A = this chain, B = another copy of it.
Amino acid sequence: MNKIRVTVWNEYRHERSNEEVKQVYPHGIHHCLAEFLGKEQDFEVRTATLDDDEHGLSQQVLDDTDVLLWWGHKAHDEVSDEIVDRVHARILNGMGFVPLHSAHYAKITRKLMGTSSFLKWRVGDDHERLWVVRPNHPITAGIGEYIELEREEMYGEFFDVPEMAELLFISWFKGGEVCRSGFTFRRGLGNVFYFRPGHETFPTYYNEQVQRVIVNGIRWAAPVHAVPPIQGKVEPLE
């Protein structure tokens, strides 16, 4: 069996500059993600970060990646346009893409969405429930009715996202808001799954249900099959 080659990309700035975040993710969010993903026998996991050469995303790395995870927040602008274009081309060519939390506003996610990616938010801790609104989907497998997170940052509507194939999760926040928190769409040959939770000051990525969703999401986003090159200019049927 061919393994699914996963690359976990992380901005990796908060964890080095903010003591509170360092407490939660001492080796960086990418390390936490890679650790639980590495336990899946069909995954082959590597990491890359903003401050790596070419942000860790050389053409070779992308060519060898089936699914790319993305976590970024305060340095979206420092991601080079050239590498954003490279990642975009690779997604259109079939690589799966799973932006997490504040990566809704990453250059690459906005380029895929075509919208402003604007949303409502509240820094602070807010009780969240992620309700499953599509229980028979591969990404929600094993989750039950909802995921409960005692403390998370709030993201709320209106969340400017594009038409989507499937809405999977809707969040409830104690403070009075809702959010379309998990959904899929397609661009070119690439599958995209956005998943909301994961503020850097909370231990969200240690939550087993959240981990399960991300694992499911990677399996769902992986290319199902090689697509033969598509022909542009063609001759008519005679």
- Which residues from chain A sit less than 8 Å from chain B, CB to CB? 92, 94, 111-116, 118-124, 126, 129, 131-138, 141-142, 144-145, 154, 156-160, 162-167, 170-178, 180, 185-191, 223-225, 227-228, 230-237
| 16 extra A-B contacts, CB within 8 A, seeds A131-B157, A163-B165, A170-B178 | A112-B114, A114-B187, A118-B232, A120-B234, A121-B232, A132-B157, A145-B231, A154-B234, A156-B234, A160-B188, A162-B187, A163-B164, A167-B167, A170-B170, A171-B178, A172-B177
Q: Find chain B residues with CB under 8 A from A228 CB.
A: 144-145
Q: Find chain B residues with CB under 8 A from A235 CB.
A: 122, 175
Find out whether the CB atom of B120 lies under 8 angstroms from the CB atom of A232.
yes
Query: How many copies make up the complex?
Result: 4
Partner of A145, one of B124, B190, B230: B230
Complex alpha-carbon distance, A14 and B188, angstroms: 30
Find out whether the CB atom of A224 lies under 8 angstroms from the CB atom of B138.
yes
Complex alpha-carbon distance, A144 and B225, angstroms: 11
Q: Which 9 A-B pairs have the closest CB atoms?
A: A175-B236, A176-B237, A141-B225, A136-B189, A114-B114, A112-B114, A163-B163, A131-B157, A135-B227
Find out whether the CB atom of A158 lies under 8 angstroms from the CB atom of B177.
no
Complex alpha-carbon distance, A177 and B92, angstroms: 23
